[in-house]
Structure 1
Amino acid sequence: MNKRLLHIFTLALLSSCSAASESSSSSRANRTPVAYNTVVECTLYDGMSKQSATLTTIGSGMEVQVMDTVDAYFVKARVTKDGKPVTGYMYRTCFPQR
């Protein structure tokens, strides 16, 4: 009887871990961009270094849609330039601390 209960609890534990991992990955995929205003003039790069090509320069106070926090220094961002969306990478220091 004790072995049977142990097996049932083990199966329940494994199924709950599997369900938790599926729900966390699906919620990450459903994130929408968040609008922020820059606090200083910044550059939108096509890669994650200062040696990357410059896509555009964003002035202070302009709205930027932050799509993902890539690492400790960069965020993936989207801006509108000449009526077209441009996606690239910006330094986190361009935005106010939250």
Structure 2
Amino acid sequence: MNTRLLYFFGLTALASCSAAGESASSTRPNRTPVAYNTVVECTLYDGMSKTSTQLATVTSGMEVQVMDTVDAYFVKARVTKDGKPLTGYMYRTCFPQR
């Protein structure tokens, strides 16, 4: 009898873990780019530090497509410069607080 109870509770624990994993993946946010307008002049970098290569300078009010929030300081962004799309990283402070 004790072996059956132990087996039953083991299966119940495994089932609850797999159910939690399924619900977490179904609530994943949509990863489509979101258009924002910059509030100050900023730089699009190829990496996530100020010593990274500058890809473009984004003027105030220019539209930028934010693709992902990378960390507390940077977002992955895409801008169009001279008809050519550039993808890189920008500081979060370039955009209004939402």
Question: TM-score range with shorter-chain normalisation?
Answer: 0.7 to 0.9
Quote the Cα distance in structure 1 between the aligned partners of 2:37 and 2:3.
60
Q: Sequence identity, in percent?
A: 82
Unaligned runs of 5+ in 1: none
Paired position in structure 2 for 1:35: 35
Paired position in structure 1 for 2:46: 46
The alignment's TM-score, normalised by the length of structure 2, stands at: 0.79
Paired position in structure 2 for 1:14: 14
Structure 1 residue 5 displacement after superposition = 4.2
Paired position in structure 2 for 1:86: 86
Structure 1 residue 78 displacement after superposition = 0.9
Paired position in structure 2 for 1:67: 67
Aligned length in residues: 98
Unaligned runs of 5+ in 2: none
C-alpha RMSD of the superposition: 2.4
Deviations 1:37-56 (A, max 9, x none): 11111100001111111100
* Other structure's SS at 2:50 match: coil
Paired position in structure 1 for 2:55: 55
Q: Where do 4+ consecutive residues of structure 1 move more than 6 Å?
A: none
Deviations 1:49-91 (A, max 9, x none): 1111110011111111111111111111111122222110000
The alignment's TM-score, normalised by the length of structure 1, stands at: 0.79
Quote the Cα distance in structure 1 between the aligned partners of 2:32 and 2:89.
17
